[in-house]
Structure 1
Amino acid sequence: MDDETKISIITRLRIAGCVFAEEEARLFFSEAQSPAEFATMVERRINGLPLEHVLGWAEFCGIRIAVDPGVFVPRRRTEFLVRQAAALVTQGAIVVDLCCGTGAVGSALAVTMEGIELYAADIDPAAVRCARRNVTSVEGHVYEGDLYEPLPSTIRGRVNVLVANAPYVPTEAIVLLPQEARIHEARVALDGGADGLDVQRRVAAEATLWLAPGGHLLVETSERQAQLTVEIFIQNGLITQVAYYDELDATVVIGTRPNV
Protein backbone atom coordinates (compact mmCIF):
# COMPACT_ATOMS: atom_id res chain seq x y z
CA MET A 1 0.00 0.00 0.00
CA ASP A 2 1.50 3.34 -1.02
CA ASP A 3 1.74 6.34 1.32
CA GLU A 4 -1.00 8.27 -0.47
CA THR A 5 -3.47 5.41 0.00
CA LYS A 6 -2.53 5.06 3.68
CA ILE A 7 -3.08 8.78 4.26
CA SER A 8 -6.43 8.60 2.49
CA ILE A 9 -7.61 5.70 4.67
CA ILE A 10 -6.44 7.35 7.89
CA THR A 11 -8.17 10.58 6.88
CA ARG A 12 -11.43 8.74 6.21
CA LEU A 13 -11.23 7.01 9.58
CA ARG A 14 -10.59 10.34 11.32
CA ILE A 15 -13.55 11.98 9.57
CA ALA A 16 -15.68 9.05 10.76
CA GLY A 17 -14.68 9.90 14.35
CA CYS A 18 -11.92 7.35 14.95
CA VAL A 19 -9.62 9.10 17.42
CA PHE A 20 -6.83 6.55 16.97
CA ALA A 21 -7.16 6.32 13.20
CA GLU A 22 -3.50 5.50 12.48
CA GLU A 23 -3.41 2.71 15.04
CA GLU A 24 -6.68 1.27 13.76
CA ALA A 25 -5.44 1.32 10.17
CA ARG A 26 -2.33 -0.59 11.27
CA LEU A 27 -4.47 -3.17 13.05
CA PHE A 28 -6.65 -3.71 9.99
CA PHE A 29 -3.58 -4.10 7.80
CA SER A 30 -2.02 -6.66 10.15
CA GLU A 31 -5.24 -8.68 10.57
CA ALA A 32 -6.57 -8.66 7.00
CA GLN A 33 -5.77 -11.70 4.88
CA SER A 34 -6.27 -9.87 1.58
CA PRO A 35 -6.69 -6.33 0.19
CA ALA A 36 -10.42 -7.01 -0.15
CA GLU A 37 -10.72 -7.98 3.53
CA PHE A 38 -8.74 -4.88 4.52
CA ALA A 39 -11.10 -2.66 2.51
CA THR A 40 -14.11 -4.36 4.11
CA MET A 41 -12.72 -3.76 7.59
CA VAL A 42 -12.16 -0.08 6.87
CA GLU A 43 -15.67 0.35 5.46
CA ARG A 44 -17.30 -1.42 8.40
CA ARG A 45 -15.41 0.80 10.83
CA ILE A 46 -16.30 3.97 8.91
CA ASN A 47 -19.93 2.87 9.01
CA GLY A 48 -19.82 2.89 12.82
CA LEU A 49 -19.12 -0.71 13.80
CA PRO A 50 -17.05 -0.92 17.01
CA LEU A 51 -13.38 -1.60 16.38
CA GLU A 52 -13.54 -4.83 18.36
CA HIS A 53 -16.45 -6.12 16.28
CA VAL A 54 -14.54 -5.34 13.10
CA LEU A 55 -11.41 -7.13 14.33
CA GLY A 56 -13.28 -9.93 16.07
CA TRP A 57 -11.28 -9.49 19.26
CA ALA A 58 -10.38 -7.09 22.06
CA GLU A 59 -7.25 -6.81 24.15
CA PHE A 60 -8.21 -7.15 27.80
CA CYS A 61 -5.84 -7.57 30.74
CA GLY A 62 -3.07 -8.41 28.30
CA ILE A 63 -4.93 -11.24 26.58
CA ARG A 64 -6.92 -11.44 23.36
CA ILE A 65 -10.66 -11.94 23.91
CA ALA A 66 -12.89 -13.01 21.03
CA VAL A 67 -15.72 -10.51 20.47
CA ASP A 68 -18.63 -11.43 18.20
CA PRO A 69 -20.99 -8.95 16.50
CA GLY A 70 -23.70 -7.66 18.83
CA VAL A 71 -21.89 -8.74 21.99
CA PHE A 72 -20.89 -6.27 24.71
CA VAL A 73 -17.28 -5.15 24.21
CA PRO A 74 -15.11 -5.49 27.35
CA ARG A 75 -14.10 -2.05 28.62
CA ARG A 76 -10.70 -0.96 29.88
CA ARG A 77 -12.25 0.16 33.19
CA THR A 78 -13.35 -3.42 33.84
CA GLU A 79 -9.70 -4.43 34.12
CA PHE A 80 -9.92 -2.85 37.58
CA LEU A 81 -12.71 -5.29 38.47
CA VAL A 82 -10.40 -8.13 37.43
CA ARG A 83 -7.55 -6.77 39.55
CA GLN A 84 -9.77 -6.47 42.62
CA ALA A 85 -11.09 -10.01 42.14
CA ALA A 86 -7.62 -11.43 41.45
CA ALA A 87 -6.46 -10.18 44.84
CA LEU A 88 -9.12 -12.40 46.44
CA VAL A 89 -8.73 -15.52 44.30
CA THR A 90 -6.64 -18.43 45.52
CA GLN A 91 -5.65 -21.60 43.71
CA GLY A 92 -8.51 -24.08 43.56
CA ALA A 93 -11.13 -21.39 44.21
CA ILE A 94 -14.60 -21.64 42.69
CA VAL A 95 -15.16 -18.49 40.63
CA VAL A 96 -18.41 -17.41 38.95
CA ASP A 97 -18.65 -14.74 36.25
CA LEU A 98 -22.30 -13.60 36.06
CA CYS A 99 -23.56 -11.41 33.19
CA CYS A 100 -20.37 -12.63 31.59
CA GLY A 101 -20.77 -11.21 28.06
CA THR A 102 -17.67 -12.39 26.21
CA GLY A 103 -16.42 -14.08 29.38
CA ALA A 104 -13.54 -11.62 29.51
CA VAL A 105 -13.50 -11.18 33.30
CA GLY A 106 -13.59 -14.89 34.09
CA SER A 107 -11.04 -15.70 31.39
CA ALA A 108 -8.65 -13.05 32.67
CA LEU A 109 -8.97 -14.39 36.22
CA ALA A 110 -8.27 -17.93 35.01
CA VAL A 111 -5.11 -16.72 33.28
CA THR A 112 -4.07 -14.75 36.37
CA MET A 113 -4.61 -17.67 38.76
CA GLU A 114 -4.28 -21.13 37.28
CA GLY A 115 -6.24 -23.96 38.84
CA ILE A 116 -9.47 -22.12 39.59
CA GLU A 117 -12.83 -23.75 38.92
CA LEU A 118 -14.55 -21.26 36.60
CA TYR A 119 -18.24 -20.95 35.76
CA ALA A 120 -19.79 -18.20 33.62
CA ALA A 121 -23.38 -17.37 32.69
CA ASP A 122 -25.30 -14.89 30.56
CA ILE A 123 -28.90 -14.51 29.44
CA ASP A 124 -27.98 -13.45 25.88
CA PRO A 125 -27.50 -16.43 23.52
CA ALA A 126 -25.04 -14.50 21.33
CA ALA A 127 -22.93 -13.64 24.37
CA VAL A 128 -22.98 -17.26 25.52
CA ARG A 129 -21.76 -18.48 22.12
CA CYS A 130 -18.95 -15.94 22.25
CA ALA A 131 -18.08 -16.66 25.88
CA ARG A 132 -17.74 -20.36 25.14
CA ARG A 133 -14.93 -19.56 22.72
CA ASN A 134 -13.07 -17.67 25.45
CA VAL A 135 -13.96 -19.47 28.66
CA THR A 136 -13.58 -23.04 27.42
CA SER A 137 -10.06 -22.15 26.27
CA VAL A 138 -9.17 -21.69 29.95
CA GLU A 139 -11.08 -24.85 30.94
CA GLY A 140 -14.12 -23.00 32.28
CA HIS A 141 -17.82 -23.73 31.84
CA VAL A 142 -20.46 -21.44 30.30
CA TYR A 143 -24.22 -21.56 30.83
CA GLU A 144 -27.14 -19.75 29.21
CA GLY A 145 -29.85 -18.36 31.44
CA ASP A 146 -30.96 -15.69 33.87
CA LEU A 147 -28.29 -14.94 36.50
CA TYR A 148 -27.90 -17.91 38.88
CA GLU A 149 -30.66 -20.02 37.31
CA PRO A 150 -28.48 -22.06 34.90
CA LEU A 151 -25.56 -22.64 37.30
CA PRO A 152 -25.01 -26.18 38.61
CA SER A 153 -26.53 -26.70 42.05
CA THR A 154 -23.33 -28.44 43.16
CA ILE A 155 -21.59 -25.06 43.60
CA ARG A 156 -24.40 -23.45 45.58
CA GLY A 157 -22.96 -22.19 48.88
CA ARG A 158 -19.39 -22.96 47.73
CA VAL A 159 -18.46 -19.99 45.51
CA ASN A 160 -15.34 -18.19 46.68
CA VAL A 161 -15.40 -15.24 44.26
CA LEU A 162 -18.47 -14.06 42.37
CA VAL A 163 -17.94 -11.29 39.81
CA ALA A 164 -20.87 -9.60 38.11
CA ASN A 165 -20.31 -6.87 35.55
CA ALA A 166 -24.06 -6.42 35.44
CA PRO A 167 -25.59 -3.63 33.32
CA TYR A 168 -25.79 -0.42 35.36
CA VAL A 169 -26.81 2.28 32.87
CA PRO A 170 -30.19 3.83 33.82
CA THR A 171 -32.76 3.21 31.09
CA GLU A 172 -33.21 6.91 30.28
CA ALA A 173 -29.43 7.35 29.94
CA ILE A 174 -29.09 4.73 27.17
CA VAL A 175 -29.69 7.47 24.59
CA LEU A 176 -26.62 9.31 25.88
CA LEU A 177 -24.25 6.40 25.22
CA PRO A 178 -21.90 6.49 22.23
CA GLN A 179 -23.49 5.24 19.02
CA GLU A 180 -21.18 2.21 18.95
CA ALA A 181 -22.69 0.91 22.20
CA ARG A 182 -26.25 2.09 21.59
CA ILE A 183 -26.62 0.50 18.17
CA HIS A 184 -24.18 -2.39 18.09
CA GLU A 185 -24.32 -3.91 21.59
CA ALA A 186 -27.24 -5.86 23.04
CA ARG A 187 -29.53 -3.64 25.11
CA VAL A 188 -29.75 -6.35 27.77
CA ALA A 189 -26.03 -5.80 28.41
CA LEU A 190 -26.51 -2.06 28.97
CA ASP A 191 -29.90 -1.38 30.54
CA GLY A 192 -29.91 -1.51 34.34
CA GLY A 193 -33.47 -0.26 34.82
CA ALA A 194 -34.77 3.04 36.15
CA ASP A 195 -31.81 3.81 38.43
CA GLY A 196 -29.39 1.42 36.75
CA LEU A 197 -29.27 -0.98 39.68
CA ASP A 198 -32.09 -3.45 39.00
CA VAL A 199 -29.79 -6.31 38.01
CA GLN A 200 -27.37 -5.58 40.85
CA ARG A 201 -30.29 -5.90 43.28
CA ARG A 202 -31.13 -9.34 41.91
CA VAL A 203 -27.49 -10.44 42.02
CA ALA A 204 -27.09 -9.29 45.63
CA ALA A 205 -30.40 -10.81 46.73
CA GLU A 206 -29.17 -14.36 46.11
CA ALA A 207 -25.45 -13.87 46.62
CA THR A 208 -25.26 -15.28 50.15
CA LEU A 209 -27.03 -18.45 48.95
CA TRP A 210 -24.22 -19.11 46.47
CA LEU A 211 -21.18 -17.71 48.25
CA ALA A 212 -19.14 -19.83 50.62
CA PRO A 213 -18.66 -18.38 54.11
CA GLY A 214 -16.08 -15.62 53.64
CA GLY A 215 -16.76 -15.58 49.88
CA HIS A 216 -16.83 -12.33 47.94
CA LEU A 217 -19.18 -10.63 45.48
CA LEU A 218 -17.67 -7.92 43.28
CA VAL A 219 -19.62 -5.65 40.93
CA GLU A 220 -18.61 -2.77 38.73
CA THR A 221 -20.67 0.38 39.17
CA SER A 222 -20.25 4.14 38.77
CA GLU A 223 -18.92 6.46 41.43
CA ARG A 224 -22.30 8.21 41.47
CA GLN A 225 -24.16 4.94 42.07
CA ALA A 226 -21.66 3.39 44.47
CA GLN A 227 -23.41 4.40 47.70
CA LEU A 228 -26.70 2.93 46.51
CA THR A 229 -24.89 -0.29 45.56
CA VAL A 230 -23.32 -0.38 49.03
CA GLU A 231 -26.77 -0.05 50.61
CA ILE A 232 -28.08 -2.90 48.45
CA PHE A 233 -25.19 -5.13 49.54
CA ILE A 234 -25.66 -4.29 53.22
CA GLN A 235 -29.40 -4.98 53.01
CA ASN A 236 -28.52 -8.45 51.73
CA GLY A 237 -26.16 -9.28 54.58
CA LEU A 238 -22.81 -8.52 52.96
CA ILE A 239 -19.87 -6.80 54.63
CA THR A 240 -19.09 -4.08 52.13
CA GLN A 241 -16.25 -1.91 50.87
CA VAL A 242 -15.68 0.28 47.80
CA ALA A 243 -12.58 0.53 45.61
CA TYR A 244 -11.92 3.40 43.19
CA TYR A 245 -9.38 3.89 40.42
CA ASP A 246 -9.47 7.39 38.96
CA GLU A 247 -7.20 6.67 36.00
CA LEU A 248 -9.78 4.31 34.49
CA ASP A 249 -12.83 6.04 36.04
CA ALA A 250 -13.52 2.67 37.64
CA THR A 251 -15.55 1.84 40.74
CA VAL A 252 -15.96 -1.61 42.25
CA VAL A 253 -18.13 -2.54 45.22
CA ILE A 254 -17.02 -5.64 47.12
CA GLY A 255 -19.32 -7.55 49.44
CA THR A 256 -18.20 -10.42 51.67
CA ARG A 257 -20.41 -13.11 53.15
CA PRO A 258 -19.75 -13.31 56.92
CA ASN A 259 -18.05 -16.48 58.14
CA VAL A 260 -20.89 -17.17 60.54
Structure 2
Amino acid sequence: MLHEQLRQAEAILEASGVASPRVDAIALAAHLLGIPDNQVGLRRREQMDAEFTRRYKELVERRAQRVPLQHLLGRAWFGPHEMQVGEGVFIPRPETELLAHWAAQQAFDGALVLDVCTGTGAIAAYVAGERRKASVYAVELSEAAASYAERNLAGRATLIRGDALDLETYGDLLGRVNVLVCNPPYVPESQDLQPEVYHDPHMAVFSGQSGMDFLQQWVPIAAALLVPGGVVGVEHDDSRAQATRELFAESGQFDDISNVRDLAGRERFVMASKVSADKAQTKPSIDDGVKR
Protein backbone atom coordinates (compact mmCIF):
# COMPACT_ATOMS: atom_id res chain seq x y z
CA MET A 1 0.00 0.00 0.00
CA LEU A 2 1.03 3.59 -0.57
CA HIS A 3 1.39 4.38 3.13
CA GLU A 4 4.01 1.64 3.45
CA GLN A 5 5.98 3.02 0.52
CA LEU A 6 5.80 6.51 1.99
CA ARG A 7 7.07 5.27 5.35
CA GLN A 8 9.98 3.43 3.72
CA ALA A 9 10.84 6.45 1.59
CA GLU A 10 10.82 8.75 4.58
CA ALA A 11 13.18 6.43 6.46
CA ILE A 12 15.59 6.27 3.51
CA LEU A 13 15.61 10.04 3.06
CA GLU A 14 16.05 10.69 6.77
CA ALA A 15 19.01 8.30 6.89
CA SER A 16 20.63 10.13 3.95
CA GLY A 17 20.44 13.50 5.71
CA VAL A 18 17.60 15.08 3.71
CA ALA A 19 16.28 18.00 5.74
CA SER A 20 12.56 17.32 5.19
CA PRO A 21 12.20 13.57 4.54
CA ARG A 22 8.43 13.32 5.03
CA VAL A 23 7.65 16.37 2.91
CA ASP A 24 9.93 15.14 0.12
CA ALA A 25 8.54 11.60 0.21
CA ILE A 26 5.01 12.96 -0.18
CA ALA A 27 6.04 15.42 -2.91
CA LEU A 28 7.63 12.67 -5.00
CA ALA A 29 4.56 10.47 -4.66
CA ALA A 30 2.25 13.36 -5.59
CA HIS A 31 4.41 14.06 -8.63
CA LEU A 32 4.01 10.52 -9.94
CA LEU A 33 0.30 10.39 -9.13
CA GLY A 34 -0.34 13.78 -10.75
CA ILE A 35 -2.12 15.16 -7.70
CA PRO A 36 -1.45 17.98 -5.20
CA ASP A 37 0.70 17.06 -2.21
CA ASN A 38 -2.19 17.54 0.21
CA GLN A 39 -4.23 14.84 -1.55
CA VAL A 40 -1.68 12.06 -1.13
CA GLY A 41 -3.11 11.21 2.28
CA LEU A 42 -6.46 10.36 0.67
CA ARG A 43 -4.78 7.54 -1.25
CA ARG A 44 -2.57 6.13 1.49
CA ARG A 45 -4.48 2.83 1.64
CA GLU A 46 -4.41 2.23 -2.10
CA GLN A 47 -2.31 -0.54 -3.60
CA MET A 48 0.15 0.96 -6.07
CA ASP A 49 0.94 -0.80 -9.34
CA ALA A 50 4.38 -2.06 -10.36
CA GLU A 51 5.14 0.94 -12.58
CA PHE A 52 4.50 3.44 -9.77
CA THR A 53 6.57 1.34 -7.38
CA ARG A 54 9.51 1.19 -9.77
CA ARG A 55 9.50 4.90 -10.59
CA TYR A 56 8.94 5.95 -6.99
CA LYS A 57 11.88 3.84 -5.83
CA GLU A 58 14.10 5.44 -8.46
CA LEU A 59 13.09 8.95 -7.45
CA VAL A 60 13.62 8.23 -3.75
CA GLU A 61 17.06 6.80 -4.48
CA ARG A 62 18.05 9.90 -6.44
CA ARG A 63 16.77 12.18 -3.69
CA ALA A 64 18.74 10.12 -1.17
CA GLN A 65 21.79 10.88 -3.30
CA ARG A 66 20.91 14.54 -2.60
CA VAL A 67 19.73 15.41 -6.07
CA PRO A 68 17.55 18.49 -5.37
CA LEU A 69 13.85 17.80 -5.03
CA GLN A 70 13.11 20.54 -7.56
CA HIS A 71 15.21 18.79 -10.21
CA LEU A 72 13.25 15.60 -9.70
CA LEU A 73 9.94 17.41 -9.91
CA GLY A 74 11.04 19.64 -12.78
CA ARG A 75 9.59 22.73 -11.13
CA ALA A 76 10.08 25.23 -8.34
CA TRP A 77 7.68 27.82 -7.00
CA PHE A 78 8.78 31.44 -6.81
CA GLY A 79 6.07 33.60 -5.34
CA PRO A 80 2.93 32.81 -7.35
CA HIS A 81 4.90 31.51 -10.32
CA GLU A 82 5.78 27.91 -11.09
CA MET A 83 9.17 27.91 -12.78
CA GLN A 84 10.51 25.07 -14.89
CA VAL A 85 13.87 23.92 -13.50
CA GLY A 86 16.33 21.12 -14.04
CA GLU A 87 19.98 20.29 -14.40
CA GLY A 88 22.03 23.27 -15.54
CA VAL A 89 19.96 26.07 -14.00
CA PHE A 90 20.09 27.64 -10.55
CA ILE A 91 17.07 26.79 -8.42
CA PRO A 92 15.40 30.02 -7.20
CA ARG A 93 15.31 30.30 -3.40
CA PRO A 94 12.42 31.65 -1.33
CA GLU A 95 14.56 34.39 0.24
CA THR A 96 15.05 35.96 -3.18
CA GLU A 97 11.32 36.65 -3.36
CA LEU A 98 11.97 39.66 -1.11
CA LEU A 99 14.32 41.10 -3.75
CA ALA A 100 11.76 40.45 -6.48
CA HIS A 101 9.03 42.10 -4.40
CA TRP A 102 11.27 45.14 -3.85
CA ALA A 103 11.89 45.42 -7.61
CA ALA A 104 8.15 45.21 -8.34
CA GLN A 105 7.47 47.97 -5.80
CA GLN A 106 10.06 50.22 -7.44
CA ALA A 107 8.70 49.71 -10.95
CA PHE A 108 6.11 52.12 -12.33
CA ASP A 109 3.99 52.17 -15.47
CA GLY A 110 6.39 52.47 -18.37
CA ALA A 111 9.47 51.66 -16.29
CA LEU A 112 12.31 49.68 -17.83
CA VAL A 113 13.24 46.85 -15.48
CA LEU A 114 16.31 44.66 -15.97
CA ASP A 115 17.02 41.35 -14.18
CA VAL A 116 20.69 40.35 -14.52
CA CYS A 117 21.87 36.75 -13.99
CA THR A 118 18.24 35.75 -14.38
CA GLY A 119 18.75 31.96 -14.29
CA THR A 120 15.25 30.52 -14.56
CA GLY A 121 13.87 34.01 -15.10
CA ALA A 122 12.23 33.97 -11.67
CA ILE A 123 12.72 37.62 -10.69
CA ALA A 124 11.81 38.89 -14.15
CA ALA A 125 8.67 36.75 -14.18
CA TYR A 126 7.67 38.00 -10.73
CA VAL A 127 8.10 41.67 -11.66
CA ALA A 128 6.35 41.23 -15.01
CA GLY A 129 3.42 39.60 -13.25
CA GLU A 130 3.12 42.43 -10.73
CA ARG A 131 3.80 45.32 -13.09
CA ARG A 132 2.20 44.55 -16.42
CA LYS A 133 2.79 48.04 -17.80
CA ALA A 134 6.54 47.93 -17.18
CA SER A 135 9.00 46.72 -19.81
CA VAL A 136 10.94 43.81 -18.30
CA TYR A 137 14.21 42.45 -19.64
CA ALA A 138 16.45 39.62 -18.39
CA VAL A 139 20.07 38.68 -19.07
CA GLU A 140 21.58 35.19 -18.90
CA LEU A 141 24.92 33.82 -20.13
CA SER A 142 24.50 30.06 -19.67
CA GLU A 143 22.88 28.32 -22.62
CA ALA A 144 21.37 25.67 -20.34
CA ALA A 145 19.89 28.23 -17.97
CA ALA A 146 18.72 30.47 -20.82
CA SER A 147 16.74 27.58 -22.28
CA TYR A 148 14.71 27.44 -19.06
CA ALA A 149 14.40 31.23 -18.86
CA GLU A 150 13.13 31.36 -22.41
CA ARG A 151 10.29 29.00 -21.54
CA ASN A 152 9.52 30.61 -18.19
CA LEU A 153 9.51 34.15 -19.59
CA ALA A 154 7.62 33.52 -22.82
CA GLY A 155 5.10 36.32 -23.24
CA ARG A 156 6.28 37.97 -20.01
CA ALA A 157 9.71 39.49 -20.55
CA THR A 158 12.47 39.88 -23.14
CA LEU A 159 15.44 37.55 -22.68
CA ILE A 160 18.93 38.69 -23.69
CA ARG A 161 21.58 35.99 -23.99
CA GLY A 162 25.01 37.26 -23.11
CA ASP A 163 27.68 37.99 -20.52
CA ALA A 164 26.50 40.30 -17.76
CA LEU A 165 30.07 41.60 -17.40
CA ASP A 166 30.26 42.71 -21.04
CA LEU A 167 28.77 46.14 -21.78
CA GLU A 168 28.02 45.07 -25.34
CA THR A 169 25.49 42.55 -24.03
CA TYR A 170 23.14 45.35 -23.02
CA GLY A 171 23.02 47.22 -26.32
CA ASP A 172 20.60 50.14 -26.24
CA LEU A 173 19.57 49.45 -22.64
CA LEU A 174 22.64 51.35 -21.40
CA GLY A 175 21.60 54.46 -19.54
CA ARG A 176 17.88 53.65 -19.82
CA VAL A 177 17.17 51.28 -16.91
CA ASN A 178 14.91 52.50 -14.11
CA VAL A 179 14.99 49.40 -11.91
CA LEU A 180 17.99 47.07 -11.96
CA VAL A 181 18.03 43.82 -10.01
CA CYS A 182 20.61 41.08 -9.75
CA ASN A 183 20.95 37.80 -7.87
CA PRO A 184 24.56 37.11 -8.88
CA PRO A 185 27.01 34.36 -7.97
CA TYR A 186 28.19 35.43 -4.51
CA VAL A 187 29.15 32.38 -2.43
CA PRO A 188 32.84 32.12 -1.47
CA GLU A 189 34.46 28.97 -2.85
CA SER A 190 33.76 26.17 -0.38
CA GLN A 191 33.55 22.39 -0.17
CA ASP A 192 31.43 22.14 2.99
CA LEU A 193 27.99 23.28 1.88
CA GLN A 194 24.85 21.17 1.66
CA PRO A 195 25.22 18.56 -1.13
CA GLU A 196 22.25 19.97 -3.03
CA VAL A 197 24.11 23.26 -3.61
CA TYR A 198 26.68 21.52 -5.80
CA HIS A 199 23.94 20.45 -8.22
CA ASP A 200 23.44 24.13 -9.09
CA PRO A 201 25.77 25.42 -11.82
CA HIS A 202 29.10 26.46 -10.31
CA MET A 203 29.08 29.73 -12.26
CA ALA A 204 25.71 30.66 -10.75
CA VAL A 205 26.76 30.05 -7.15
CA PHE A 206 30.43 30.74 -6.49
CA SER A 207 32.38 33.94 -7.06
CA GLY A 208 36.00 33.46 -6.05
CA GLN A 209 37.50 33.06 -2.60
CA SER A 210 35.80 36.19 -1.29
CA GLY A 211 32.47 35.71 -3.04
CA MET A 212 32.86 39.25 -4.41
CA ASP A 213 34.54 38.68 -7.78
CA PHE A 214 31.40 39.18 -9.85
CA LEU A 215 30.11 42.25 -8.01
CA GLN A 216 33.50 43.96 -8.09
CA GLN A 217 33.36 43.88 -11.88
CA TRP A 218 29.64 44.51 -12.23
CA VAL A 219 29.03 47.60 -10.07
CA PRO A 220 30.46 50.00 -12.72
CA ILE A 221 28.24 48.30 -15.30
CA ALA A 222 25.24 48.81 -13.04
CA ALA A 223 26.02 52.52 -12.96
CA ALA A 224 26.24 52.60 -16.76
CA LEU A 225 22.86 50.89 -17.11
CA LEU A 226 20.82 53.10 -14.80
CA VAL A 227 19.23 56.46 -15.48
CA PRO A 228 20.08 59.11 -12.85
CA GLY A 229 17.88 58.33 -9.89
CA GLY A 230 17.38 54.74 -11.04
CA VAL A 231 17.59 52.06 -8.37
CA VAL A 232 19.53 48.83 -8.06
CA GLY A 233 19.05 45.88 -5.74
CA VAL A 234 21.46 42.97 -5.39
CA GLU A 235 21.54 39.82 -3.31
CA HIS A 236 24.79 38.97 -1.52
CA ASP A 237 26.29 36.50 0.92
CA ASP A 238 25.22 37.38 4.44
CA SER A 239 28.87 37.60 5.48
CA ARG A 240 29.58 40.27 2.83
CA ALA A 241 26.96 42.89 3.73
CA GLN A 242 29.38 45.68 4.68
CA ALA A 243 31.77 44.85 1.85
CA THR A 244 28.94 45.07 -0.68
CA ARG A 245 27.76 48.42 0.64
CA GLU A 246 31.30 49.77 0.50
CA LEU A 247 31.68 48.55 -3.08
CA PHE A 248 28.73 50.67 -4.18
CA ALA A 249 29.83 53.67 -2.12
CA GLU A 250 33.43 53.64 -3.33
CA SER A 251 32.31 53.73 -6.96
CA GLY A 252 31.10 57.28 -6.39
CA GLN A 253 28.05 56.54 -8.53
CA PHE A 254 25.44 55.64 -5.90
CA ASP A 255 23.74 57.05 -2.84
CA ASP A 256 20.94 55.94 -0.50
CA ILE A 257 22.96 52.75 -0.03
CA SER A 258 21.57 50.37 2.57
CA ASN A 259 21.38 46.73 3.55
CA VAL A 260 18.07 44.92 3.86
CA ARG A 261 17.51 41.79 5.89
CA ASP A 262 15.78 38.67 4.64
CA LEU A 263 12.92 37.02 6.51
CA ALA A 264 15.42 35.07 8.65
CA GLY A 265 16.97 38.33 9.83
CA ARG A 266 20.18 37.99 7.81
CA GLU A 267 21.64 40.96 5.94
CA ARG A 268 21.07 39.63 2.43
CA PHE A 269 20.49 42.55 0.04
CA VAL A 270 21.94 45.95 -0.85
CA MET A 271 19.75 48.61 -2.43
CA ALA A 272 21.04 51.90 -3.84
CA SER A 273 20.18 54.78 -6.17
CA LYS A 274 22.32 56.15 -8.98
CA VAL A 275 23.38 59.70 -8.28
CA SER A 276 22.91 62.49 -10.81
CA ALA A 277 25.87 63.48 -12.97
CA ASP A 278 26.68 66.60 -10.95
CA LYS A 279 26.92 64.59 -7.74
CA ALA A 280 28.87 61.63 -9.13
CA GLN A 281 32.23 63.13 -8.19
CA THR A 282 31.37 63.21 -4.51
CA LYS A 283 31.73 60.02 -2.51
CA PRO A 284 28.28 59.28 -1.01
CA SER A 285 27.80 58.36 2.60
CA ILE A 286 26.56 54.91 3.53
CA ASP A 287 23.36 54.51 5.51
CA ASP A 288 24.49 53.10 8.84
CA GLY A 289 21.10 51.54 9.48
CA VAL A 290 20.05 48.15 8.28
CA LYS A 291 16.50 47.99 7.00
CA ARG A 292 14.14 45.15 7.79
Indicate whether the TM-score tops 0.5. yes
2:191 to 175, 183, 187: 175
| Aligned-pair CA distance for 1:159 | 0.5
Residue 159 of structure 2 corresponds to which residue in structure 1? 142
The answer on whether the counterparts of 1:135 and 1:141 sit within 8 Å (CA) in structure 2 is: yes
Residue 115 of structure 2 corresponds to which residue in structure 1? 97
Is the radius of gyration larger for structure 1 or structure 2?
2
1:192 to 207, 226, 230: 207
Counterparts of residues 236-247 of structure 1 (less than 5 Å): 236=251, 237-239=253-255, 240-247=257-264
- Give the Cα separation in 1 of the matches to 2:130 and 2:106: 12
Matched residue type, 1:61? G
| Aligned-pair CA distance for 1:18 | 2.1
The answer on whether the counterparts of 1:168 and 1:197 sit within 8 Å (CA) in structure 2 is: yes
Looking at both structures, which has the greater relative contact order when contacts are Cα pairs under 8 Å and sequence separation is at least 6?
Answer: 1
Residue 82 of structure 1 corresponds to which residue in structure 2? 100
The answer on whether the counterparts of 1:219 and 1:252 sit within 8 Å (CA) in structure 2 is: yes
Unpaired stretches in structure 2, ≥5 consecutive residues: 34-50, 278-292
- Give the Cα separation in 2 of the matches to 1:158 and 1:27: 43
Name the CA shift for 1:248/1:59 in 2 (closer, same or farther; >3 Å): farther
Counterparts of residues 32-43 of structure 1 (less than 5 Å): 32=32, 35=52, 36-43=54-61
Q: Report whether the alignment pairs 1:221 with 2:236.
A: yes
Residue 19 of structure 1 corresponds to which residue in structure 2? 19
Q: State the Cα deviation string for residues 32-62 of structure 1 (Å, max 9, x = none).
A: 1561443332222122200111111111113
Q: TM-score, normalised by structure 2?
A: 0.81
- Give the Cα separation in 1 of the matches to 2:94 and 2:64: 22
Q: Report whether the alignment pairs 1:117 with 2:135.
A: yes
Q: State the Cα deviation string for residues 200-243 of structure 1 (Å, max 9, x = none).
A: 12221111211112111111113321111111111221111221
Q: Report whether the alignment pairs 1:257 with 2:271.
A: no
- Give the Cα separation in 2 of the matches to 1:44 and 1:145: 33
- Give the Cα separation in 2 of the matches to 1:79 and 1:207: 21
Unpaired stretches in structure 1, ≥5 consecutive residues: none
Q: State the Cα deviation string for residues 138-167 of structure 1 (Å, max 9, x = none).
A: 2x1222221054644222111111111111
The answer on whether the counterparts of 2:70 and 2:85 sit within 8 Å (CA) in structure 1 is: yes
Question: C-alpha root-mean-square deviation of aligned residues, in Å?
Answer: 1.9
- Give the Cα separation in 1 of the matches to 2:223 and 2:15: 50
